Amino acid sequence: MGVVGYMIWNAAKIYSTLGNPDSLIPLAVKDGTQCVGMTAGSYITGKEEGVDRLIDEFGTEALWLGGIPGLRWLFDKTVIKAFGFDSKIDPRNLKDMELFKKLKEFAPSEEIKKNLEKAEKNRRLFKNLAASKFVFSTLTAAAAYFGFTRLKQYYTHQQIRKNLIKEYQEKQKAQEEAQKNSQNLQSPQNNPSFKGFGKVVEEFAFSSVKNMWILDGFITFERLADARNPQEFAGYAIKEGSCLFFLYFAGKKIQQWMENAAKKKHNKSITLDARVLEGEELKKSFENASILNSIKEFDAANSSKESLYEFIHKNPENEIVKAAKKSDIVKLLKNTEKIDTREFIDLEEVKGIKEKTAELYAQYKDALSKGETSDKFFKQVRKLKRQSIIGNIGASILALGVITPAAMLLKRYSDKSGKEFQTKRDIKEQLIREGVIKA
C-alpha cells in the first residue's frame, strides 16, 4: 500500500470508527467533550467547585471507559484461564451447534480447533462463565464508582473545610492587626477547637456499548441518590439526562436522518462502512460490473446459515466478503488473512452489506445513465458519508460540551441561592454550628 493509499485508509478508519454505533470511541469523544465543558462551567462559579467537578468528571470517565474492559480482561486472565478455556471464543457461537461444526472445520489453526472442541464439550460451564464475566465486570465497575464517589466527596469536604478555617483565621488575624494599628491594643485570640469530620440479557453482555448502558444507569442513579443538596441534584438531572440522550439515542437518530437525507436528496446510499466506501476496490468492481457476479454468488450461497458461513470462508475475493472484513463484521486472526472462527459472525449483518451494496450499485447505474461520471459519484458518496459522521459527532459535542454546561450555569444564576457552591455553604454552616468559626 502506497503513502496515499495508507493515508486514505487511515482517514476512512477514523470516520468508520467515529460512525460505528458499537464502538466505545465515539462515546469517549462525546463524553470527553462534556467533561471539559462541565469542568469549565464549574470553574466559572468557583475554584473549589471546579476541582470537585474535575475529579468527578474525569475520574468517572476513566472508570466508565476502562472499568468494564479492564475487569473483563482480568476475569479472562484468571477465572477463564484457570478453567483452561480460550477467552476469545464468543459464547454466542455455541447457540447453533450445526453452525458450530463449520467453525471447527474452518478453524485457522489446530490449537484453535482444539479450544473450540473443549468449549463445545463443556458448553454449559463455558456459557455460565461468560455470564459470570458480564455480571462481575458490570457490578464491580459500578461498586468501584460508588467507592470513588464517596472518596471524592470526602476529599472535597475536607478541602473546603480546611480552606474555610484558613480563610476565617486569616480574616481574624487581619482584623486583629487592623485593631492593633488603630487602637494600639492587643486582644486575646482563642484558637478554634477542631472537632470530628463527617463522612443481563445477551445483547448487553456481548455489546460493549450496551454494557455501558447498564453502568451508566448505575452512575445516574447513584449521582441523583447521593446528591449532597438540591443544587447538585438539579445539576446532575440536567447533565445525566442530556448525556444519556445524546450518547445512546440522538447520535444514532442524527446519523440515520443524514443518511436518509443523502438518499432522498442525492439518490446516494451512504449506509456502508466508511472503509468500504473510501477504498478503491468497491469503486473498481462497480466500474467493471464485477460486483454483479459477487452479488449473484452471494445470493446463491444464501440458502442456509451453514452454506453462507462456508461461502464466506471459501470466497475471500468476493466483494461482499471483502466488505464484511473491512467493516469488522468478519474478523481476521491477528497478522493473517485467515478468519478467526472464535469470533462471532452476525450473518444478518453480512446479508445487510449485500443489500446496501446492491442498492448503491443501482444508484450508481442510474447516475451514469444521467451523465454522471464514476469519479464524481464516489466523490460525492464519500463526502456525504463524512458529513453524516461529522454532523453526528458535532451535534453531540455541541449539545454535551456547550449547551448542557450553559444550561446548568443558567439554572445556577437564576436560582435564589445564586452561583455559590451549595456544598461549601453547607460546610460553612456546619463549622459555625460546631463553633470552629464564627459567622
Q: Which of 395, 352, 354, 372 is nearest to 268 (CA)?
A: 372
d(CA 285, CA 69): 39
Is 303 in contact with 325 (CB distance < 8 Å)?
no
Tell me how far CA of residue 438 lies from CA of 161, 163, 164, 176, 428, in angstroms.
13, 14, 11, 15, 9
d(CA 345, CA 348): 9
Is 393 in contact with 26 (CB distance < 8 Å)?
yes
- pLDDT, residue 180, reads 67
- pLDDT, residue 403, reads 81
Tell me how far CA of residue 71 lies from CA of 65, 79, 91, 374, in angstroms.
11, 11, 18, 48
Residue-by-residue DSSP string for 82-130: HTT--TTS-GGGGG-HHHHHHHHHT-SSHHHHHHHHHHHHTHHHHHHHH
- For residue 248, give every residue at least 6 positions away whose Cβ sits within 8 Å of its Cβ, in sequence order, or none: 209, 213, 216
430 three-class SS: helix
Is 187 in contact with 148 (CB distance < 8 Å)?
no
Question: Each residue's pLDDT tens digit in the chain (439 positions)?
Answer: 554 454 455 666 777 777 666 677 777 777 777 777 777 766 676 666 677 777 777 777 777 778 888 899 999 999 999 999 999 999 999 999 999 999 999 999 999 999 999 999 999 999 999 989 988 988 888 888 777 777 777 777 777 777 778 777 777 777 767 766 665 544 444 443 333 333 344 555 666 666 666 777 777 777 677 677 776 677 777 777 777 777 777 777 888 888 899 999 999 999 999 889 988 999 999 999 999 999 999 999 999 999 999 999 999 999 999 999 999 999 999 989 999 999 999 999 999 999 999 999 999 999 999 999 999 999 999 999 998 888 888 888 888 778 887 877 777 677 665 566 667 667 777 777 777 777 6
- For residue 155, give every residue at least 6 positions away whose Cβ sits within 8 Å of its Cβ, in sequence order, or none: 55
- pLDDT, residue 224, reads 73
Tell me how far CA of residue 319 lies from CA of 20, 153, 336, in angstroms.
21, 56, 19
d(CA 437, CA 167): 10
d(CA 113, CA 105): 8
d(CA 223, CA 131): 27
Q: Is the dihedral of CA 115, 120, 122, 128 positive or negative?
A: positive
Residue-by-residue DSSP string for 18-40: HT-TT-HHHHHHHHHHHHHHHHH
d(CA 167, CA 173): 10
- For residue 276, give every residue at least 6 positions away whose Cβ sits within 8 Å of its Cβ, in sequence order, or none: 282, 323, 326, 327, 353
Single-letter residue type at 415 = D
339 three-class SS: strand
